[in-house]
Structure 1
Amino acid sequence: MLTRTVGFCLSAKKWRKMNLSAFAELCRNHGIDVVQIDLSRPLPAQGPFDIIIHKLSDLMVEAQYNSQSQQLLASFQEYTAAHPYTVLLDPLPAMRKLLDRFVSYRIVGRLQTAIPGDQVCCPPYVEINTSDLEEIQEAISRHNLSFPFICKTQVAHGSSSHEMALIFNEEGLKDAHAPCILQSFINHNARLYKVFVVGSSHFTVDRPSLKNFPLGPSDSKTIFFNSHDVSKPESSSHLTELDKEMDWPGPPSEDVISTLVTDLQAELGMSLFGVDIIINNETGRPTVIDINIFPGYEGVPEFFSALLHHIQSILKDPPPQGAEREETQDLDHTHAPTHGPCCPVSSHVKPPSNISVTSTL
């Protein structure tokens, strides 16, 4: 009997946090072996793999300045190049786009004009590549941004990417350290909607978020915060406490979410990602504030079943002629169509259908 193998290339911390040992047991009950990949060991000895599911975003960031990370990433890319029929979830070129907030916001900006009916938008923003305050002020004026601003790092992943600042006036612009994004703050009644995508399914959960602040410049000092801490499911930060009782904005409509997810998958060719959405409390318009690579799927009890379904749907596709393998074949033999850099993503990733949404309110 042909054994199908899925490799997970994740940090030990993420493996434990997502309880993937339980998912591995679920897969075994369906005839699929799960291997926890160790990048410090030769990959051929751990495979072969029909599918590799990974979150190499942190490694990709570290590879920009760390030689050991560069070597680990190079070895991984060499392996996928030598095994072009291994499905890679998700493709590294797409992940590189989302590692850069400058690029990801441009993508959302393009989708904003492509989706009919002004259904979604992103907040006005400006890319800052200078520490010169006059240049920053000129760029803010040119892009018609208004205080307060959220300041975010250009790098969208890694430990520092969650460190943000809320800037209320020109004096506070000294706290914007380039390269960064300055994004107009949108009041949204302290609710964030996280859309978690798993192949052809997506799920929406609500989280705490920043409370409302008066629009326009004020004398308030810059507020520094960690977005991960503020938007934890159990967060009780003073930054999320509204000054008065207000109705929570309802989640974006299913039509809006479905269209957005479909367009993002077509743009990125990715299967496992998240979208952070707020609802403008003045206009009621859904506003995309971030796109995340392989999020934690907290609050999505259906994650295991959705991921297993996605894996099974990929494994249903037979390998190209001549690419079949048996358990006794050499470990370097190739198999199963790829989503990786050696094969066009568009030939394998299809727009989602039969979208399901789980709303936890």
Structure 2
Amino acid sequence: MVVLSLFRGRGIEVVEIDLSQPMESQGPFDIIVHKLSDVIVEAEHDSRSQQLLDNFQTYVSTHPHTVLLDPLPAMRQLLDRFASYRIISKLQNTLQGKSICCPPYLEINTDNMSIIQEAVDRKQLTYPLICKTRVAHGSRSHEMSLIFSHAGLRDVRPPCVLQSFVNHGAVLHKVFVVGEQHFTVERPSLKNFPTGPYDRKTVFFNSHEVSKPESCSRLTALDETTPRVPAPSDDVMAVMVKELRAELGMALFGVDVIMNIDTHRLTIIDINIFPSYEGVPQFFSSLLSHIECLLNTRHDTKLRLSQTTSNTP
């Protein structure tokens, strides 16, 4: 109710869309804020979800003046870690010299141990490796593992991503983007591990549970003598967000970053589709400001178009 009052106080009516009903009768809409990630993922194997998605896309395509937060093609690429990691790698190349990087990674599509081991060696990935599912949404996407040697690669379950683990002092910085603004929230993270390879069983964990604000896990417990890693530079963070916004074409997303304990470089480890914004009390006011900006731009564009049309001989 507080959120509705906030929007109504600025002259914006908020309507909840029922995707099971014709959207035409529920509109018209100036702007649609959505999180259709569940529907997009389920549409791959569920005809009902595919129908809902088709109906939504039909409405959007026949109402070009309706602003969509965020475009479906942009959201789809963040549901696939193969695609999002390619984006991160591209960003690293674009921002060379800006103290921004991403760990080496490998896309795994086979369960052939010899092929995987050869690829890890060729790519010069260092142990431990963190293994993540290809699908970057849903409860399963949080199920990860730490692999400490070639022998541990038998625990890989393709399709997945293998990424060199970077020691970062057990501190994760979650960057929440809302249009032109971004907010950073500090969370617990995995502790430091010796650089391998070495003989240790694979560690399986849930990243969501490890990085909850109140998380207290043996996997996040640091030795008291471990030095504190410096926080990311605000300037570097702003550069990263600006480049990602341009590359993704999105306004609502999250970025998981860490600070390399050895190089103190900002290291991007994941991009998240429409995150929870937990710990960001300014989220709704920031979202409102961004929506107002979009609507004002839309109004100015329509006004210029109208003037151009009326002046046409």
- State the TM-score, normalizing by the size of structure 1: 0.81
Mapping 1:146-225, distance limit 5 Å: 146-225=126-205
249-258 or 275-284: bigger deviation? 249-258
- Cα distance in 2, alignment partners of residues 221 and 73 from structure 1: 43
Q: Is the 8 A contact 2:98 2:236 kept in 1?
A: no
SS class of match (2:127): coil
* CA displacement 1:289-323 (0-9 Å, x = unmatched): 00011111111111121111101111112162699
* Cα distance in 1 for residues equivalent to 2:74 and 2:284: 24
Match of residue 41, structure 2, among 61, 71, 86: 61
Instruction: Provide the rounded CA distance (Å) in 2 between the counterparts of 1:53 and 1:107.
Output: 24
Rounded Cα–Cα distance in structure 2 between residues aligned with 1:314 and 1:290: 27
| Partner SS, residue 229 of structure 2 | coil
1:304 to 284, 287, 309: 284
| Distance in structure 1 (CA, Å) of the matches to 2:274 and 2:295 | 20
The 2-side partners of 1:169 and 1:230 are apart by 23
8 Å CA contact 1:147–1:167 kept in 2: the answer is yes
**Matched residue type, 2:11:** G
Work out whether residues 230 and 264 of structure 2, in 8 Å CA contact, stay in contact via their aligned partners in 1: no
Q: Which residue number corresponds to residue 266 of structure 1?
A: 246
Q: How does 1:45-194 map to 2 (within 5 A)?
A: 45-194=25-174
AA in 2 matched with 1:29: G
- Secondary structure of the residue aligned to 2:101 is coil
Residue 223 (structure 2) pairs with residue 253 (structure 1): no
Unaligned residue ranges in structure 2 (runs of 5+): 307-313
Structure of higher RCO (CA pairs closer than 8 Å, 6+ residues apart) = 1
Identical-pair percentage: 61
Q: Is the 8 A contact 1:191 1:248 kept in 2?
A: no
Aligned-pair CA distance for 1:250: 2.6
Which of 7, 22, 30 is 2:10 aligned to? 30
SS for the counterpart of 1:192 is strand
In structure 1, the residue corresponding to 2:24 is in which secondary structure? helix
Cα-to-partner distance string for 1:39-87 (whole Å, 9 max, x where unaligned): 1222112211111011111211111111111111111101101111100
320, 331, 336: which one pairs with 2:302? 320
2:214 maps to what in 1? 234
Q: Structure 1 residues 141 and 83 mapped into 2: Cα distance closer, same or farther (>3 Å)?
A: same
Gaps of 5+ in 1: 1-20, 325-361
**What is the SS of the residue equivalent to 2:291?**
helix
After superposition, give the CA deviation of every residue in 1:206-258 in whole Å (9 maximum; x if it has no partner): 10000111111122111111111111111112211113343432321111111
Q: Please give the secondary structure, in 2, of the residue aligned with 1:72.
A: helix
* 3-state SS in 1 of match to 2:100: coil
Q: 1:166 to 1:75 in 2, by over 3 A?
A: same
